[in-house]
Amino acid sequence: MTTILRIDASVRRTDNSVAAYNSISRSLADSFVAQWEEAEPEVEVILRDVGMTPPDFICNDWIASVFTPDAERTEQQKKLVSLSDTLIDELDRADVLLISTPMYNYGMPAALKAWFDQIIRINKTFTFDLGRGDFPLEPIMSGKTLVLLTSAGEFGFEAGGIRDGSGHLSAHINTLRNYLGAEHMLEAAAEYQEFADERHDASVASAHARAQEIARELTS
């Protein structure tokens, strides 16, 4: 049985009275999961909704806690890292990582960045050894697949596009994916939301089709 860890990062729901306010990235994730369930009804989906329930931001005491050996942590330190432990356990259980997220201000939402900061943690998701020279960090987990489903108000963020180099959402997540144990990343993106024209409609339809196609590829 496959386990999917679904992380939704949009602050928008999908049941607003005004359809234009609904989250596109969440709807893409819904399409992906529905397609997967057609092929594998028994799939387990772990839902972590960071858009509606943001993880805590890390702080000075949190950093001190994660660098303290487990056996030496105070009760307060254990409490500080308990959410991180839970999030890492969810990650460890997953075969497929499904991240649905809008692009906010050309990057990832703060809540999604907080999730990454909680899980990319020394001796949990990576090791550190200066004996490795200029690349002392090494991921611990492996063998996972990351599916990234995004939405953006503008367009042309792809290589060669008119905004090439302006969008940091996909590039940032692609850099971090190694520490999630994801060996490759598959994407679908809906754009043009701010223009609300036929290009947007076509982009959303194409993104839904691509999300479903990815699910079929991974279950075939």
pLDDT in tens, 8-17: 999 999 888 8
Secondary-structure class of domain 3-219 per CATH = alpha beta
**Exposed, middle or buried: residue 40 (CB in 10 Å: 0-12, 13-18, 19+)?**
middle
Is residue 20 pLDDT above 90, yes or no? no
CA nearest 95: which of 204, 183, 217, 192? 183
* Mean pLDDT value across residues 184-204: 97
Q: Where are the domains of the chain?
A: 3-219
Q: What is the pTM of this model?
A: 0.96
For 69-89, the pLDDT digits (tens) are 999 999 999 999 999 999 999
What are 68's two structure tokens?
Answer: 């303290």
For the purposes of burial, counting CB atoms within 10 Å of the CB of 173, is it exposed (0-12), middle (13-18) or buried (19 or more)?
Answer: buried
HEC secondary structure over 8-50? ECCCCCCCCCCHHHCCHHHHHHHHHHHHHHHHCCCCEEEEEEC
21 — pLDDT class (breaks 50, 70, 90): confident
Task: Provide the residue type at 188 as one letter.
Answer: A
Supply the pLDDT for residue 84: 98
User: Rounded to an integer, what distance in angstroms lies between the CA atom of residue 150 and that of residue 136?
Assistant: 31
CA distance 81 to 98: 24
